[in-house]
Structure 1
Amino acid sequence: MLSTYQYPKFDYVRPPELDEGRDGHYPVVIVGAGPVGLCTAIDLARQGRQVLLLDNDDTVSIGSRGVCYAKRTLEVLDRLGCGEEMVQKGVSWNVGRTFFREDEVFNFNLCPEPDHHRPGMINLQQYYLEDYLVQRARKLPNLEMRFRNSVIAVTPGEDQASLRVETPDGTYTLTTDWLVVADGARSPIRTMLGLDIDGKIFMDRFLIADVVMKADFPTERWFWFDPPFHPNQSVLLHRQADNVFRIDFQLGWQADPEHEKKPENVIPRIQAMIGDDREFELEWVSVYTFQCRRMNRFNHGRVLFVGDSAHQVSPFGARGANSG
């Protein structure tokens, strides 16, 4: 539960296959209603393809998660029909500053020329992006979305793929000419098929704190190495919509994630950064370890892997959702 956002609850609708007593067939089935799965579904439907999108949940992402969307991503969202909502709601920025202790040592401008249609970046919580994409998807007559439909088995074939899908009312079977897998970094379907994903897990931990506060910080990305308020580590600050600020604290590999997420441990870190006299409210807290991994092949016959199910990168530089 967030103080600044009301989570939607998408209706579960009983699939017709459960009543008709036969397998369903769709030209394209996409698994995963995150940003990449939704964008893929909308793009195909706009081009006249009949698409079925399955997701095991019934709402948008919990917590802000991906927050930075680049100019090229905004151009793609313009084409899909929801770029304007993103820019109007999000916080636009072009300038990034890097500090060593208290001194600025580097800065950049993502939009050095005037009159660009879109900013270099916007910051907006991922749940807004998913919400806008779902609203857009519902306007396309050849795009069907089924929530609380969990894929429990996949059988690839030369010309089709077969799926077994579990719902609150029972299980059913689908076939599809093309199965697009966008079920995230842990990808249950990738695991089902016994497919590889190679790379490196970085031995470090980072604390994400989304903080609601009224502050006069400029709409810029600020990054500190070894700041006085968090010595020997790094800190990242981004402003988001609704007066929410994303703060990332580097913790080190030995940090206990559950211990670090407790408010009594998070609040002193933020107070050391912004001062004891500034009022703020914790919105969302998480601890993550990032990975740089990818599948050796993204296409396996009629099964295509996209987004985090296919490739995972460091979140620094906003490469995750944007590359997806």
Structure 2
Amino acid sequence: MLSTYQYPKFDYVRPPELSGVGKKRYPVVVVGAGPVGLAAAIELAQSGVPVVLLDDDDTVSVGSRGVCYAKRTLEVLDRLGLGEPCMDKGVSWNVGRTFFREQEVYNFNLLPQPDHKRPGMINLQQYYLEEFEVKRAQELPKLDLRFKNKVLSVTPEGDGATLQVETPDGVYTLETDWLVVADGARSGIRRLMNLDIEGKIFKDRFLIADVVMKADFPHERWFWFDPPFHPGQSVLLHRQADNVYRIDFQ
């Protein structure tokens, strides 16, 4: 845990289904209140679609995790009503520099033209993005956000799916026309349904550190190959909010 951030605890609310007063079928159920699940649920609710969002935790992710958000992502966040808080808190940058040992060998500028509404990139710890998304989700009447609600099973049906959901007060059943699975790379639901992730695996290992320090570095991305402080490997440096520097050591 970092000294620069106070992790919130979101309230658990007893689901109405456990009291026999809630409806059991919804147009959409989203599982996973990370950046993707929250964004999907917000988008649906803003479009007038009732949605239930389930998460088995009651706080945001620990550590910086997702860091860089590109211009297109910022445009999506604007549409979700989240662009301004992310811009206000994040560290904007356009220039990236690559070094071999101690010599700069390449640089780029993601925003060579002036007067764009948003920068090429911002750096913002994932816990801030999730916190902003939760606050936005709680403002939307068509979005039912449920913390400490863990999906135990999923039964696909011809016109939807049935879920068994565990809470501190017991287990209840939900039916949905559409199920959005956003519970991460190690998805428990995909495992339950024997669904594989298609894609490539990055084989290298990295030590990722969030370091709180005051430094006079410019707001740029720096990448080293074979630096004197980590010979034969690579290192990536990003400045984030609150003077937190994300350092990735290969």
Q: Which residue of 2 aligns with 1:83?
A: 83
Q: How does 1:198-217 map to 2 (within 5 A)?
A: 198-217=198-217
Residue type of the alignment partner of 2:76: V
The one-character-per-residue Cα deviations of 1:150-184 (angstroms, maximum 9, x if unpaired) are: 00100111112100000111100000011100000
Q: Distance in 1 between matches of 2:28 and 2:188?
A: 19
Q: Which residue of 2 aligns with 1:167?
A: 167
Q: Which residue of 2 aligns with 1:307?
A: none
User: Could you list the runs of 4 or more consecutive aligned residues of structure 1 that deviate by over 4 angstroms after TM superposition?
Assistant: none
User: Contact (CA 8 Å) 2:149, 2:165: kept in 1 or not?
Assistant: yes
Q: Which residue of 2 aligns with 1:14?
A: 14
Q: Distance in 2 between matches of 1:198 and 1:160?
A: 23
Q: Distance in 1 between matches of 2:196 and 2:124?
A: 33
Residue type of the alignment partner of 2:100: F
Q: Which residue of 2 aligns with 1:189?
A: 189
Structure 1 stretch displaced more, 195-204 or 177-186: 195-204
Residues 16 and 202 from structure 1, CA distance in 2 versus in 1: closer, same or farther, beyond 3 angstroms? same
Q: Which residue of 2 aligns with 1:62?
A: 62
Q: How does 1:123-272 map to 2 (within 5 A)?
A: 123-250=123-250
The one-character-per-residue Cα deviations of 1:208-244 (angstroms, maximum 9, x if unpaired) are: 1110011001100000000111100000000000000
Question: How many angstroms does 1:197 deviate by?
Answer: 2.6
Q: Secondary structure at the match of 2:92?
A: strand
Question: How many angstroms does 1:91 deviate by?
Answer: 0.3
Specify every segment of 5 or more residues in structure 1 that has no aligned partner in the other structure, as ranges: 251-324
The one-character-per-residue Cα deviations of 1:76-132 (angstroms, maximum 9, x if unpaired) are: 000100101000110000000000011111100000000000000000100000000
Structural RMSD (CA)? 1.2
Matched, 1:112 2:78: no
Instruction: State percent identity of aligned pairs.
Output: 77
Question: How many angstroms does 1:204 deviate by?
Answer: 2.1
Q: Secondary structure at the match of 1:52?
A: strand
Q: Secondary structure at the match of 1:56?
A: coil
TM-score under structure 1 length normalisation: 0.76
Question: How many angstroms does 1:201 deviate by?
Answer: 3.3
Residue type of the alignment partner of 1:187: S
Residue type of the alignment partner of 1:58: D
Q: Distance in 2 between matches of 1:51 and 1:211?
A: 38
Specify every segment of 5 or more residues in structure 2 that has no aligned partner in the other structure, as ranges: none
Residues 148 and 85 from structure 1, CA distance in 2 versus in 1: closer, same or farther, beyond 3 angstroms? same
Residue type of the alignment partner of 2:37: G
Q: Secondary structure at the match of 2:216?
A: coil
Q: Distance in 1 between matches of 2:141 and 2:20?
A: 22
Aligned residues: 250
Q: Secondary structure at the match of 1:127?
A: helix
The one-character-per-residue Cα deviations of 1:181-200 (angstroms, maximum 9, x if unpaired) are: 00000011100011123444
Q: Distance in 2 between matches of 1:152 and 1:117?
A: 44
Q: Which residue of 2 aligns with 1:279?
A: none
Ranked by relative contact order (alpha carbons within 8 Å, sequence separation 6 or more), the top structure is 2
User: Contact (CA 8 Å) 2:237, 2:247: kept in 1 or not?
Assistant: yes
User: Contact (CA 8 Å) 2:16, 2:22: kept in 1 or not?
Assistant: no
Q: Which residue of 2 aligns with 1:261?
A: none
Residues 230 and 115 from structure 1, CA distance in 2 versus in 1: closer, same or farther, beyond 3 angstroms? same
User: Contact (CA 8 Å) 1:33, 1:54: kept in 2 or not?
Assistant: yes
Question: How many angstroms does 1:203 deviate by?
Answer: 3.2
Q: How does 1:278-297 map to 2 (within 5 A)?
A: none
Matched, 1:50 2:59: no
Q: Distance in 2 between matches of 1:208 and 1:166?
A: 33
The one-character-per-residue Cα deviations of 1:13-60 (angstroms, maximum 9, x if unpaired) are: 111111118861111100000000000000010010101000000000
Q: Distance in 2 between matches of 1:111 and 1:206?
A: 29
Q: Distance in 1 between matches of 2:133 and 2:63?
A: 17
